[in-house]
Structure 1
Amino acid sequence: MPPLPHPAPEALRRDPLPLRGRTALVTGAGRRDGIGHAVARRLAAHGASVYLHHHVPHDAAMPWGADRPEDVAASVREALADPSARVESGPGDLSDPAVPAELHDRAAAALGGRLDILVANHALSGSDGTLDTIDTAMLDAHWAVDTRSVILLVRAHARHRAALPPRTPGGRVTMMTSGQDIAGGMPGEIAYALQKGALASITRSLATTLAGHAVTVNTVNPGPVDTGYLTGDAYEAVAARFPGGRWGMPDDPARLIAWLATDEADWITGQVIDSEGGFRR
């Protein structure tokens, strides 16, 4: 039956737990200062069960260091709003082409056998440069993690949803891009910008592909977000380019991504959405 042009009054009232009974996999959720952690907390606060993916060796090699996965999971559990929901976590090196499908299967099994929401938040940090300094190793590394693994995760999600009863509600995919198509681009991070641009470009094609399985696909550009990677004068210079005078915080894009996972966003698909707080590039 098609939707009514004017929903009944009770349908207009907001459910305090719009994701109750839904399940989600959030990749790149290994740091409490990161966007993935903030997204997971928001999904949990909306009633979802969440599987947190982490890759500790990547974060440990970065200047900001790694958190203990159990501490991150505990923080997300604190946000659980549905007593029957749960939080699970596990590792995965997504540069290995076999890992995306294995991770998806593991997350679905850990959360009861069905996975509704995929948030592909992970990315490779560092190992990049300008057009003059990049090499094939940098390009290949970013392709493997930032793009290939995301497409393989989306394929695993599409196959999983196709095996469910037709039009099972709640199917969602959110990918992450980085504003590489806006204003001056990212000339100092050619490999990263290239692979994130590929995700933005493929969004509509994936949305069309997954529409038959009642899965929406959108990509979010969170803009500059304070995840602990910049300090001092450089930090203040970036803050001054926001009309509000502050950086984006991890919870800023997390609110949007969590909303996209709800039924209120059921009619939004194939979009690249900028959530940058008016950042002036």
Structure 2
Amino acid sequence: MGSNGDGPLAGRVAVVTGAGRRAGIGFAIARDLLAAGASVLVQSWTPHDDEQPWGSDPAGIDGVLEALGGTGPRLAYLAADFAAPETPGRVVQYAVETFGAIDVLVANHARSSLQGLGELTAAELDMCWAVNARASALLAQEFAAVHDDARPGGRIVLFTSGQHLGPMRREIPYAISKGAIQQMTLTLADALADRGITVNTVNPGPVDTGWADEELTAKVVGALPFGRWGAPDDVARLVRWLVSDEGRWITGQVINSEGGFRRWAM
């Protein structure tokens, strides 16, 4: 990335949530936005990754930040837990305090949850709702409250999953909360359209971030016509385009970027 912030996003400030692993989508997005010249605040919450089968990044968050070029004039970091209702405001305010403004919000974070109907608990439903759906809506609210409409390129990108295209019976709390993000997209876009701020949601489809076991990896590959899972870079390119000037006419859309995923073939 250019140390002086040259590129199509030079001078703009982005927040990218869920960027705690080098193998993850958030890392790829942050790297692309930095390469395009933006200043970026990345957020992560390592305790969540520690609880998952794939674990946190072996190099720790310091290794993640080093791979992004190290914190400095154009890269900042905040550890923050979106289970707390005040966290969205804290993240947005930290970006403004650090860089002086905020132009782009990429709410990529997610709480994963493997609960089918038999294992379903109220606690997990509440936690997935809080982290995935509530935090995304509150991040959009906080972004809108501080965004300077005289600055160009007001952009919000949210993330859903494929629950609107096929069932996710083993991940009910996750699917329900991600479905809420899909449904809020058009309404948030309409609320902010008069201010020139776009709101879109990405469904990245099956992306290889190290979470799937061998059996699932092979099964899904059989339903992907290109013969491979999606890569974090595939998602990052789409996000970079959406938040650039070239994406200014797109708003209120849920974009399924799945490489032709054939659910019926699984």
Query: 1:142 aligns to what?
Result: 128
* Equivalent in 18, 24, 29 of residue 14 of structure 2: 24
Q: TM-score, normalised by structure 2?
A: 0.92
Contact 2:156–2:198, Cα closer than 8 Å, also in 1: yes
Q: CA deviation at 1:17?
A: 1.6
Deviations along 1:181-238, one digit per CA (max 9) or x if unpaired, are 11x3212111111111111111011001111222100000000000101132321111
**What pairs up with 1:151-162 in 2 under 5 angstroms?**
151-161=137-147
Retained in 2: the 8 A contact 1:158–1:213?
no
Of 43, 49, 56, 2:46 maps to 56
Q: Map 1:47-126 onto structure 2 (within 5 A).
A: 47-67=37-57, 68-77=60-69, 86-111=74-99, 113-126=100-113
Q: Using the alignment, how far apart are the partners of 1:237 and 1:211 within structure 2?
A: 41
Q: Does 1:178 align with 2:170?
A: no
**Which of 181, 196, 220 is matched with 1:214 structurally?**
196
Structure 2's unaligned 5+ residue stretches are 1-5
Quick one: distance in 2 between partners of 1:28 and 1:115? Answer: 17
Supply the distance in 1 between the matched residues of 2:15 and 2:65 (Cα, whole angstroms).
Answer: 13
3-state SS of paired residue (2:211): coil
Tell me, in whole angstroms, the C-alpha distance in 2 between the residues paired with 1:72 and 1:197: 30
- What does residue 10 of structure 1 align with? none
Which protein has the larger Cα radius of gyration, Structure 1 or Structure 2? 1
RMSD, aligned CA:
1.6
Which residue does 2:3 correspond to in 1?
A: none
3-state SS, counterpart of residue 223 of structure 2: coil
| Runs of 4+ more than 6 Å apart | none
Q: 1:276 deviation in Å? A: 0.3
Does the CA-based 8 Å contact 2:103-2:151 persist in structure 1?
A: no
Equivalent pairs, count: 256
Equivalents in 1 of 2:247, 2:216: separation in Å?
A: 36
Q: Which residue pairs with 1:187 in the alignment?
A: 169
Gapped runs of 5+ residues in structure 1? 1-15
TM-score normalised to the size of structure 1? 0.87
